[in-house]
A = this chain, B = another copy of it.
Amino acid sequence: MMLLFPQRKNSSTRDYIYETLKKNIILLHLKPGQVITENEIAELFCVSRTPVREAFVRLVQEGLLETYPQKGTTVSLIDLERVDEARFMRRTLEKAVLQMACNNFPQELFFELRSNLALQELCIQEKNFIKLFELDEDFHRLIYRGCRKERIWELISQINADFRRIRVLKLSLGIGVGEVVKQHHRIAELIFSKDVTNVDKVIEEHLPQNDPDFENLQKLYSQYFK
């Protein structure tokens, strides 16, 4: 069911609920299509409905929840169109960002990249695919950070919830995990060796226009999809 995390100091109830719900939606603990109500969440967190409402407002804005007035609220279904859009944005932006990274990347972050990759390998061995997902995102965030574009990464992650969710689903089944990490190594190698000539090719492989696995997932888990 739902995972709970300790509330950070100085965070409002609203923010805490928002972050907790969001994490649970992305990690598929709250399933696409699942009905949740302000009342049940308020009871779960032992608070009034107000901060729950306000958290819901944010999650609706991000496309993670869908509210039906007077009827109820559901976790939004994964929409393959949105997944395609997210992939287009990521592919386009990451070609540009990786090119910048190959041209100029702070040495101080090399170690973090390498550490991240080592932990990714470890996650494969330990079959901890949720942790792998988080490291995957940290990997990309590091690259954006090295190019002074970290906020862009945060922004596109925020609007790409469906893409993130389908990737969690895919990873949780262990599909393609080895290949993903290999591609991360290739990306990092381009940065280390300042090789701009292969940027497009590597990104196209990492974020292809079509991913047959996604279509298969839609068939296997049709109740999760729009």
Q: Is the interface of A mostly helix, strand, loop or mixed?
A: helix
| A69 contacts the other chain (CB 8 A) | yes
Residues of chain B with a CB closer than 8 A to A159's CB = 155, 158-159
Q: Is A173 interfacial (CB-CB < 8 Å)?
A: no
A158 neighbours in B (Cβ, 8 Å): 159
CA gap between A52 and B12 in the complex, in Å: 18
A159 to B81, alpha carbons, bound, how many Å?
A: 20
Q: Within 8 Å CB of A14, what residues of B?
A: 57
Stretch at the interface among A87-95, A187-195, A212-220: A87-95
**Which residue of chain B is the closest to A150 with respect to CB atoms?**
B85
Q: A96–B89 Cα gap in the complex (Å)?
A: 10
Q: Looking across the interface, which residue of chain B has its beta carbon closest to that of A160?
A: B155
Q: Given A92-B96, A96-B92, are A151 and B54 neighbors across the interface (CB < 8 Å)?
A: no
B149/A88 in contact, CB under 8 A: yes
Interchain CB contact under 8 A, A151 and B93: no
Partner of A151, one of B57, B82, B155: B82
| Cα distance A149–B82 in the bound complex, in angstroms | 10
Contact of A140 with B by CB under 8 A: no
A61 within 8 A of B: yes
Give A61's nearest chain B residue, CB to CB.
B58
Contacts A58-B57, A58-B61, A69-B12: A89 and B93 contacting too (C-beta < 8 A)? Answer: yes
- The verdict on A170 contacting chain B, using a C-beta distance below 8 Å, is no
CA distance A158 to B63 in the complex (A): 13
A69 nearest in chain B by CB position: B12
Candidates B85, B89, B96, B152; contact of A85 at CB < 8 Å: B152
Interchain residue pairs A-B with the least CB separation, the first 4 = A92-B96, A57-B57, A155-B159, A54-B57
Q: List 5 A–B pairs whose Cβ atoms lie within 8 Å, in order of A's numbering.
A: A14-B57, A54-B57, A85-B155, A93-B93, A158-B159
